[in-house]
């Protein structure tokens, strides 16, 4: 009965606590002071475990502190099954340990001890532990489970923790040798050094445009892979067409013609120069050269040189007297043979005049070709100029009344004199001091006896003053053979029956 009263009071207090906890605490304290004052007067029984004895309606009773109950507060309340309305526990509605097992009563609040199932914690195992708290999903969204979690991976990732990157690269993903770099549900291509660009390295980088056309002098650029080729216009060469090919070196113009290089832009726009320099420079017509030919030559390279040696009318050489001719530029040169002069060798040099009438001692000068002759020189003189007095007979070398004729054997470098003796009959030899074997005048003969029968040589020397005579005459059946003189020359004359002279 007593305990019932206590419970009623406590129930009343607990209701107040729920509504207004601070007030309830105050109430509880003042009530305790009241009770202890009353107990100090007379209160039995002896309350254990911190229970307080109070007198209610004249009856003493223990006011136990939790979790104890009973008359002397020695019974422990089983809070695994006891409702605790003040903290919302009602085993009739839900177990004390929501996701666990209640191990029993403990002395401190909340007076029960829950052993939680894996994945739960909290005093009543009411908390499903957040297994995602440690962010186990590296590349995905975490879903908390009971003592577990699942990861829902971002695109491109896989694995329990979404840590495995799905290789998005596939064969042929990057073209032209580009390096595929796996990404987050994607791939990228590293096109560097391939000469291509674009997402898949499919776009050939225009090397002709980076940074500008590399082909100089009008060359056409052809894009390659990491490269380009220049198609140079004629007259230019080199990888970039920067080499202006030398067209005037060495000078292609003959006869020292002036060479104008068509690639020399400074020459253009000059009305006094021939085509194309009178116009505007054009790269596509910059190959080659133009020759300014000296007078007398023509042609692209001044190699045409008309032969000025020929008379256009007769087509014969303009150089007279068989002289040779050298063609020049609008000119010709005659190379005269000795004795001729003048531009066309037409002048026969009068050597008599040229040498100042060289003939002396009354001789007359006669002009010859490249020479002269002195005619009418008296017997006393000789030499080219009739200037040498002949002294060969001065010493009277001819004997026996022979006639002496002086001779000039050699004029230069110093005169060499000689003589010729014309012997009287009966004499011979250079000085006419040798007897002849015989001499004839008119019709006479000479015979010699030979005593030998062996082969012998018969040598006969003779001299005659006759212009015509027969020295030997042999007659035979086929004709005559005559050896003799004819016009002062020794001749062999053959006469036969039908013709007089062979
Ligand atoms: C955890 O407790 C709740 C509420 O009592 C219950 O619905 C659920 O089934 C429990 N889970 C397990 C794994 O016991
Ligand atoms: C709850 O029970 C466990 C296991 O028996 C024990 O280790 C723990 O100390 C208890 N808790 C309290 C508050 O008594
Ligand atoms: C449950 O446990 C986690 C760590 O294991 C802790 O951070 C959390 O505060 C606990 N929750 C409760 C209600 O005890
Ligand atoms: C946690 O979940 C995974 C699947 O998500 C499962 O394979 C694994 O066995 C679970 N672990 C536990 C302890 O239940
Ligand atoms: C992957 O993509 C998602 C969005 O789709 C992004 O939130 C995440 O940070 C990316 N991860 C990496 C490693 O780029
Ligand atoms: C691309 O490739 C080049 C060489 O092939 C390398 O030097 C560079 O670091 C790479 N870039 C990236 C972003 O991988
Ligand atoms: C061609 O031009 C490129 C770029 O303009 C340059 O790097 C290179 O040295 C040039 N080559 C020659 C042979 O001039
Ligand atoms: C670029 O092309 C030229 C011919 O056009 C060639 O001679 C050269 O070797 C090429 N260079 C490279 C790096 O391929
Ligand atoms: C060309 O001219 C130079 C100097 O003007 C000269 O030395 C050379 O002999 C000339 N050559 C010819 C073939 O005329
Ligand atoms: C030859 O004889 C004749 C007379 O018979 C004579 O007159 C003449 O002088 C002679 N001639 C010579 C060269 O002796
Ligand atoms: C050697 C000789 O016959 N001498 C003669 C030369 O001629 C003269 C006369 O003309 C004679 O008297 C010589 O006897
Ligand atoms: C000139 C001379 O001596 N004549 C002689 C040649 O020989 C014959 C006969 O042997 C003589 O009779 C000649 O006198
Ligand atoms: Ca050139
Ligand atoms: Ca000429
Ligand atoms: Ca002459």
Q: Which residue's CA is the nearest one to ligand 5's atom 9? A: 139
Residue 449 is predicted with a pLDDT of: 66
Residue 12 is predicted with a pLDDT of: 33
SS3 content of the chain, % helix, strand, coil (to 5): 10, 30, 60
Residue 234 is predicted with a pLDDT of: 95
Q: Which residue's CA is the nearest one to ligand 6's atom 10? A: 190
Residue 484 is predicted with a pLDDT of: 76
Residue 438 is predicted with a pLDDT of: 79
- In tens, the pLDDT along 139-161 reads 999 999 999 999 999 888 899 99
**Is the minimum distance from the CB of 433 to ligand 11 under 6 angstroms?**
no
Mean pLDDT estimate for the chain = 86
pLDDT of residue 23 exceeding 50 = no
Q: Which residue's CA is the nearest one to ligand 1's atom 9? A: 99
pLDDT of residue 16 exceeding 50 = no
* Tokens at 295, concatenated: 């007078």
Domains, in order of start, for the chain: 2-76 (no CATH), 246-292 (no CATH), 390-437 (2.10.25.10), 458-502 (no CATH)
Q: How many Å lie between the centroid of ligand 9 and the Cα of residue 473?
A: 78
First and final C-alpha spacing in the chain: 208
For ligand 1, mutation pick of 91, 99, 115 (most atoms within 8 Å of CB): 99
d(CA 66, CA 4): 16
More confident residue, 355 or 426: 355
Q: Which residue's CA is the nearest one to ligand 4's atom 1? A: 148
What is the CB < 6 Å shell around ligand 2?
A: 103, 106, 113
Predicted confidence band of residue 9 (pLDDT cuts 50, 70, 90):
very low
Atom of ligand 7 nearest to the CA of 242: 14
- In tens, the pLDDT along 409-440 reads 999 999 999 999 998 888 888 999 998 877 77
Mean pLDDT of 231-255: 96
Residue 204 is predicted with a pLDDT of: 94
Tracing tokens 């666990």 back to the chain, one arrives at: 100
Predicted confidence band of residue 482 (pLDDT cuts 50, 70, 90):
confident
Percentage, residues of the chain above pLDDT 70: 85
- For residues 174 and 191, is the Cβ–Cβ distance under 8 A? yes
pLDDT of residue 374 exceeding 50 = yes
Predicted confidence band of residue 44 (pLDDT cuts 50, 70, 90):
confident
Tracing tokens 């695994």 back to the chain, one arrives at: 80
**Is the minimum distance from the CB of 216 to ligand 7 under 6 angstroms?**
no
For ligand 10, mutation pick of 403, 436, 441 (most atoms within 8 Å of CB): 441
Q: By CB neighbour count within 10 A (0-12 exposed, 13-18 middle, 19+ buried), where does 196 fall? A: buried
For ligand 5, mutation pick of 135, 137, 139, 157 (most atoms within 8 Å of CB): 139
Q: How many CA atoms lie within 13 A of 94 on its CB side?
A: 11
């Amino acid at each position: 009965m007593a305990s019932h009263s206590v419970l009623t009071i406590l129930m009343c207090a607990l209701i107040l606590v729920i509504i207004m906890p601070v007030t309830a605490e105050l109430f509880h304290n003042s009530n305790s002071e009241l009770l202890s004052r009353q107990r100090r007067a007379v209160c039995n029984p002896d309350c254990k475990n911190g229970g307080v004895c109070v007198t209610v309606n004249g009856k003493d009773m223990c006011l136990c502190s939790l979790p104890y109950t009973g008359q002397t507060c020695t019974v422990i309340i089983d809070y695994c099954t006891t409702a605790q309305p003040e903290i919302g526990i009602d085993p009739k509605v839900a177990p004390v340990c929501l996701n666990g097992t209640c191990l029993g009563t403990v002395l401190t609040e909340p007076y029960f001890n829950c052993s939680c199932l894996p994945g739960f914690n909290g005093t009543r195992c009411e908390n499903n532990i957040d297994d995602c708290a440690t962010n186990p999903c590296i590349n995905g969204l975490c879903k908390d489970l009971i003592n577990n979690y699942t990861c829902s991976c971002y695109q491109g990732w896989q694995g329990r923790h979404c840590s495995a990157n799905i290789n998005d690269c596939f064969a042929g993903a990057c073209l032209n040798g580009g390096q595929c770099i796996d990404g987050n549900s994607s791939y990228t291509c590293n096109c560097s050094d391939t000469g291509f660009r674009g997402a898949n390295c499919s776009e050939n980088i225009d090397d002709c445009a980076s940074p500008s056309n590399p082909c100089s002098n009008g060359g056409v650029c052809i894009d390659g892979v990491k490269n380009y080729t220049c198609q140079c216009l004629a007259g230019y060469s080199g990888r970039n067409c920067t080499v202006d090919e030398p067209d005037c070196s060495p000078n292609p113009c003959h006869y020292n013609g002036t060479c104008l290089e068509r690639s020399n832009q400074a020459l253009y726009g000059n009305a006094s120069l021939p085509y194309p320099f009178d116009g505007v420079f054009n790269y596509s017509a910059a190959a080659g050269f133009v020759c300014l030919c000296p007078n007398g030559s023509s042609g692209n390279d001044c190699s045409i040189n008309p032969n000025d040696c020929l008379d256009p009318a007769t087509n014969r050489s303009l150089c007279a007297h068989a002289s040779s001719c050298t063609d020049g530029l609008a000119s010709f040169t005659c190379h005269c043979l000795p004795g001729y002069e003048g531009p066309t060798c037409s002048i026969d040099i009068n050597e008599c005049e040229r040498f100042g009438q060289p003939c002396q001692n009354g001789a007359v000068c006669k002009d010859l070709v490249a020479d002269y002759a002195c005619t009418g020189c008296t017997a006393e003189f000789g030499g080219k100029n009739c200037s040498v007095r002949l002294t060969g007979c001065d010493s009277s070398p001819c004997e026996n009344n022979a006639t002496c004729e002086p001779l000039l054997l050699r004029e230069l470098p110093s005169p060499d004199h000689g003589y010729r003796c014309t012997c009287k009959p009966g004499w011979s030899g250079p000085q006419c001091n040798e007897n002849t074997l015989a001499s004839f005048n008119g019709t006479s003969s000479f015979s010699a006896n030979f005593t030998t029968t062996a082969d012998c040589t018969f040598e006969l020397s003779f001299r005659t003053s006759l212009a015509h005579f027969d020295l030997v005459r042999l007659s035979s059946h086929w004709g005559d053979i005559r050896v003799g003189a004819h016009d002062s020359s020794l001749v062999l004359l053959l006469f036969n029956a039908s013709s007089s002279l062979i």
